[in-house]
Amino acid sequence: MKMNLIFNRNIPDYQSSLSKVEDVLIKHNVDFKSMNLDNMEFYGDFTIVLGGDGTILRAARFYSEKSVPTFGVNIGRLGFLAQVQTDDFETVLDALLAGDYRTEERIMLESGSHLALNDFVVRGCNSTRASKFYLEINGEDVCDYIADGLIISTPTGSTAYGLSAGGPVLYPTTDSILIVPICPHTLNARPLVIPTVENIAVKTADSDLSVAIDGYSKIECVEKISIKKSDKKAVLAFLNNTNFYAILRDKLHWGLPAGEG
């Protein structure tokens, strides 16, 4: 197995974690190439990513081009998409080299040439207050929102910003798209779950739109944005003993009584 080893220079003290992982790979005679997030290449047939969720999302989008599995090692904060910490990597590598893992295809959204594995977040371009957003699906007017913005999310992204904004948690391989208003100025605005065959468009009456992609890269000041399911899919790798519901409990304290966890 040839591996891409991706790291993020912007994470404090990344060098220590990188050195530990490189030492383990060398010890196990793994053919690998270390690459900064800004200089990724198609070298191996499996990708190890050192970082938080933002780093993993970006690498997974890049390697979706050739359906290369991506496996996260957390050196960020929450690391919801990451499997392990750096200190546990040697044990995990034994499992990966033995084929004791599974892969999951995750849907992505696209707008023109832009891909999102988590979400597109739409806000007013020049507004510091709520704007009026018009939601269209398949060219038909669906509803108007007076809100701080709209989140158009994949199931993978439902545990990210969409969750913070009051949206539901979707099982990550569900074939659906989630639309969540941010701080709507009404009590009857609710999140909407729709099939992935639908085509979404958003515009606003107040100003142009600013669109964040997976929390980072932006599309600035456009009159309207169209979003649909991409034909490309990200491929994430997970240890066979990984359970989505356990991750919810362990990392988001889902279902635990107040004060526990």
By annotation, the residues acting in catalysis are 53
Which amino acid belongs to residue 67? S
Torsion of CA 13, 17, 20, 24, to 10 degrees: -160
Tell me if 206 sits within 8 A of 124, measured CB to CB.
yes
d(CA 114, CA 6): 21
CA angle 63, 164, 183 (to 5 degrees): 120
- Sole residue written with tokens 């990200």: 234
Neighbours of 190 (CB within 10 A): 13
Of 118, 9, 3, nearest in space to 53 by CA: 118
Task: Kindly state the tokens that stand for 109.
Answer: 């959204």
- List Cβ neighbours of 164 (8 Å cut-off, separation of 6 or more): none
- Give the contacts of 149 (CB within 8 A, at least 6 positions apart): 121, 122, 123, 124, 131, 133, 181, 182
In the Cβ-directed half-sphere of 66, how many Cα atoms lie within 13 Å? 12
Measured in whole angstroms, the distance separating CA 230 from the mean position of its chain's CA atoms is 14
State how far the Cα of 86 lies from the Cα of 234, in Å rounded to an integer.
Answer: 23
Q: Cα separation of 3 and 155, whole Å?
A: 27
Structure tokens at 102: 């599974």
